[in-house]
Amino acid sequence: MWYFHADHHQPKYANVFERNDIFFVIFALPSMVLFYFGVEGGINYLFFIGLGITFYGFCYFMIHDVLIHQRFKWFKKTNNKYLIGLRKAHKVHHKHLGKEHGECFGMLFVPFKYYKI
């Protein structure tokens, strides 16, 4: 999956979209299929699995694309320690331009050391 994620680690993006955005499609397709079969004959467990995937995608978009990378300038001036900690942890994740020596930054939960201002 590094092929899709690699351009995301480059300092500047040549386009509005990057290959990393394909993960939206990779997660959206099974979610839609699960929604379809999850409402057939009444709501069943497949619907809720699809809902979980959708909820994760929404959180990823809001945290990663909006808050951290600020692809949309909605929460640019936050003073919240938790949100600042998420941004600091993600900067560590982007410290390396290649996949070697990369660090997982978590998404919603990061080590407490990043919450110190």
User: In the predicted model, is pLDDT for residue 48 greater than 70?
Assistant: yes
**Residues 9-37, mean pLDDT to the nearest whole number:** 80
Percent of the chain whose pLDDT exceeds 70: 72
DSSP for 7-41, written as a single string:
GGGSSS-SSSS-GGGHHHHHHHHHHHHHHHHHSTT
Per-domain residue ranges of the chain: 1-114
Predicted pLDDT at 36:
95
User: In the predicted model, is pLDDT for residue 37 greater than 90?
Assistant: yes
**Residues 91-116, mean pLDDT to the nearest whole number:** 68
Ranked by mean pLDDT, which of 48-62, 72-86, 100-114 comes out on top? 48-62
Of 92, 85, 76, 90, nearest to 116 by C-alpha is 85
Q: Which residue has the higher pLDDT, 61 or 11?
A: 61
- Banded pLDDT at 33 (limits 50, 70, 90): very high
Predicted pLDDT at 101:
62
pTM reported for the whole predicted model: 0.69
- Banded pLDDT at 70 (limits 50, 70, 90): confident
